[in-house]
Structure 1
Amino acid sequence: MMNDTRLALDSVFYPESDGQPMTESDATRDYLLYCVEVLQLYFQSRQNVYVSGNLFIYYQEGNPQAVIAPDVFVIFGVSHRKRRSYKVWQENGKLPSFILEITSYSTRRQDEVEKPQRYASLGVQEYFQYDPTADYLNPQLKGFHLVEGRYEPLPLESTSEGILYIHSPVLRLDLQLQMPVQQKLGIVPLPRELRFYDPQTGLKLLTRQEVEQVREQIERERDLAQQERDLAQQERDLAQQERDLAQQRAERLATRLKEMGLNPDEI
């Protein structure tokens, strides 16, 4: 009987895709990719942290309908190897500790009602929502933490520079709403951009492209500094050559004066 049950469970098919497009807008897709990438880079040195997004998470063996697919999630206590789907019973029962949903027109009700209920029942410690267009959420960023089986809001705070943020105790990171450059220049108000910051270092989490841009900028600055050092050395060498030429001219003049019977020191 036990073997029959095991065979039945092993034969269950768990889809890896629902055949639907990943997102409905550029903004939704871009932020999903940004969040997954920067969190993967942030946790890359920790072998027991798995970061992913838009991936099926099956939480009940034998029941393919018991599935969630958060836009962004972080799971502690499992390896960060690549997966085609995530089956909780194969991962020592580990579920996401942090989930972020990128809210849109088509997902608003699910993100605000259905998903929080499901995530709370599964014990997800933190649940965040972000609206990249600022059309569906007010405020544009919301965060919740699990208290006795129910989600309680995390405070939306402000830095001394007026930047709104919510601190994630689970990630130990700040989720900031940063003002776009266009808005700083006085153009029409635009939605605030979501960025992750490390409050201990005060540094923004960078994408691979941003890291490469910083590296290239550092190399350019190093090259410029080296060029300035080389130019300064050339100027010093030129000055030394001029001093040497002046000394040679003085020595030749002294020699000629001596040949004429004159004492250079007395002239």
Structure 2
Amino acid sequence: MSQPLAATASLEDVTESIIFPPGDIFSDEPPLESDLHREQIDLLIRLIKWWWRDRQDFYATGNLTIYFSPNQKKSEEFRGPDFFVVLDTEKKDRKSWVVWQEDGKYPNVIIELLSNSTASVDKGLKKQIYQNTFRTPDYFWFDPNNLELQGFHLVDGQYQDLVPTEVGWLWSQQLGLYLAVYLGKLRFFTPDRQLVMLPEEESNQQLEQASQQLEQASQQLEQASQQLEQANQQLEQERQRAAILAERLRAAGIDPGQIF
């Protein structure tokens, strides 16, 4: 007669082995569809990490699997978001995002990059998963080819369309930043509508500003030199007039020294 399950294994052991598989799971995402998609994902990750470089309470990544259910069939039903941010978590490298190993946390912000093969899933199944299962507050999709940008915010459990600004920007409450298309790329903008820049862009901007200041200083120096030249010419003209007048006085028998 077989022994009861409780006699051979604790409830904790059974729970771990059956309900929650190991959390150290590698991501299992397919290759990105184009250079545009890869470059856009890399850009978003670099931007948010640089913008929040002094923070240690977030995780930002892209094209990484999110394991949220031991029974999920990721190859049939779900692939990891192209870009996502989790707040109030430890800033460290991960092989994947395993919800049951992360205090049950789901992404606060998700951005999907549309393509011909993924657009229907991103706008349909994934949107429903992010709304109903993840409860992700901010969800956006962006098409790197035609620059379509749309965003949603979770209100009472349902995604509501974000209303763009007069110039087409969308506000992310979770990031505290605007999302907008800039020079053909999806970029972040600050609340006062300044472009969030990469470190090399900041360096280039500082170099450009220094170059402009140098150019302005050079122009001012040139103007000062021209003014000095004009002053010297006027002085020389006065000297010539004085010499002519002195010569005339001497010709008239008048000593110029008695006058000047």
Q: TM-score, normalised by structure 1?
A: 0.69
Look up the match of 1:166: 170
1:15 deviation in Å?
2.8
Judged with a 3 Å threshold, the aligned counterparts in structure 2 of structure 1 residues 40 and 13 are, in CA distance, closer, same or farther, namely closer
* Cα distance between partner residues in 1 of 2:16 and 2:228: 84
Which one of the candidate residues 81, 86, 93 is aligned to 1:70? Answer: 81
Are the aligned partners of 1:176 and 1:196 in contact in 2 as well (CA < 8 Å)?
Answer: yes
Equivalent position amino acid for 2:186 in 1: L
Provide Cα deviations, 1:183-215, integer angstroms capped at 9, x if missing partner. xxxxxxxxx6433211x3220111233222113
Judged with a 3 Å threshold, the aligned counterparts in structure 2 of structure 1 residues 4 and 265 are, in CA distance, closer, same or farther, namely farther
Which one of the candidate residues 26, 29, 41 is aligned to 2:38? Answer: 29
1:146 deviation in Å?
1.6
Which one of the candidate residues 179, 182, 189 is aligned to 1:197? Answer: 189
* Cα distance between partner residues in 2 of 1:169 and 1:72: 16
Equivalent position amino acid for 2:113 in 1: I
Are the aligned partners of 1:101 and 1:129 in contact in 2 as well (CA < 8 Å)?
Answer: yes
RMSD in angstroms over aligned alpha carbons?
4.1
Which one of the candidate residues 200, 207, 210 is aligned to 2:198? Answer: 207
Are the aligned partners of 1:14 and 1:64 in contact in 2 as well (CA < 8 Å)?
Answer: no
* Cα distance between partner residues in 2 of 1:116 and 1:147: 14
1:7 deviation in Å?
6.5
- Between the aligned residues of both structures, percent identity stands at 27
Are the aligned partners of 1:28 and 1:102 in contact in 2 as well (CA < 8 Å)?
Answer: yes
Equivalent position amino acid for 2:138 in 1: E
Which one of the candidate residues 82, 96, 99 is aligned to 1:85? Answer: 96
SS at match of 1:195: strand
Judged with a 3 Å threshold, the aligned counterparts in structure 2 of structure 1 residues 7 and 132 are, in CA distance, closer, same or farther, namely closer
Look up the match of 1:5: 14
* Cα distance between partner residues in 2 of 1:42 and 1:29: 20
Q: Does 1:147 align with 2:163?
A: no
Are the aligned partners of 1:58 and 1:68 in contact in 2 as well (CA < 8 Å)?
Answer: no
Equivalent position amino acid for 1:41 in 2: W
* Cα distance between partner residues in 1 of 2:14 and 2:34: 44
Q: TM-score, normalised by structure 2?
A: 0.71
Are the aligned partners of 1:13 and 1:64 in contact in 2 as well (CA < 8 Å)?
Answer: no
Equivalent position amino acid for 2:162 in 1: L
Judged with a 3 Å threshold, the aligned counterparts in structure 2 of structure 1 residues 12 and 171 are, in CA distance, closer, same or farther, namely closer
Provide Cα deviations, 1:50-97, integer angstroms capped at 9, x if missing partner. 22111122224x557477511111111012222222222332222111
User: Structure 1: any 5+ residue segments left out of the alignment?
Assistant: 181-191, 239-263
Provide Cα deviations, 1:211-260, integer angstroms capped at 9, x if missing partner. 2211321333354456668879999999xxxxxxxxxxxxxxxxxxxxxx
1:177 deviation in Å?
3.4
Which one of the candidate residues 94, 98, 105 is aligned to 1:94? Answer: 105
1:30 deviation in Å?
2.0
Which one of the candidate residues 116, 138, 156 is aligned to 1:126? Answer: 138
* Cα distance between partner residues in 2 of 1:90 and 1:11: 9
Number of equivalent positions: 239
Look up the match of 2:67: 58
Equivalent position amino acid for 1:197 in 2: F
